[in-house]
Structure 1
Amino acid sequence: MRFKPVPPAPEAFEYVTRVQRAVPLVPGTEDDCCARLVGRLDLSDRDAARTWLTFLRALELAEETPSGYRRTDAEPTVEGCREAFLTRVFAADAVRDALASEGPLAVDAAFEAVRERVPRWERHRDAEWTAVWRERVGRLLDWLVLLEAAERGDDDPSRYRLT
């Protein structure tokens, strides 16, 4: 299963640990978990919390049980999260592969490199799908940097390259 929601990458990886610790150990409903995340973190609303909750599932740091959501026992590490990110987050591997094959890329060029991977139904669902997916690709690139799979260019920080 591949997950699509991707929150903006935080400034430091330690924030991922902080978000995971805000998820309860004892399963709770999605609404309860989202309220808890909003209350314990600097998240703007429940939609942002829901995005983080789903993203933590992709990173295998939270799980959905029959009783609700709970955090897993997995300790967040850059290496572990990078592996889960590349295998479980939709298009993360495609963005990384675009960097590998086409060299340093800006967000728009990275989007163009993976444009064909956007599901057809997503293109028909929203007339502004290209703007939505450009933002998503930008977030994927920022996560690749945070997870030490890519870096921003020294001479041009708007371009990303593999590390």
Structure 2
Amino acid sequence: MTVDVAALLRDAQAKGLTVSTAESCTGGMIAAALTDIPGSSAVVDRGFVTYSNQAKTEMLGVLTTTLATHGAVSEEVAAEMADGALDSAGTDIAVSVTGIAGPGGSEFKPEGRVCFGLAATGLPTFVETKEFGALGRDKVRAATRDHALMLIATAVAKLPIRT
């Protein structure tokens, strides 16, 4: 499913909603897709590019114990990234991604595995893992960006108008 980013931003703005991103494997691609649209500053507050574990802990409050126990590519870390972005930015919606874009990976964390988190005011934090497969780095990152935009659009549709 391809998301009409301009429509997503219009819908979010009409509801008075703001968005932040917490990105690892995409390195800012989600924020870039949002801010490519003129007027996006009415909705997009900030993006965190937290490629290293240190950045995840310092910028988003991901616990070192979570990283040590589950690894950076895990739903647990994705949830803490999304919650940390929501709290730090004070936005209504925060999406997070952490994964193995490739090349490489391992038997336990293969190339193309990406964990997503979505935190939104008044909703429980949602996490999921997608196995995009060994499509190559560019295609995994693009698929990750597109899925994250779909998660944001879904959250915008679910949230009420902010008063």
Pairwise TM-score range, normalised by the shorter structure? under 0.3
The structure with the greater share of residues assigned to strand is 2
The structure with the greater share of residues assigned to helix is 1
Larger radius of gyration: 1
TM-score (norm 1): 0.27
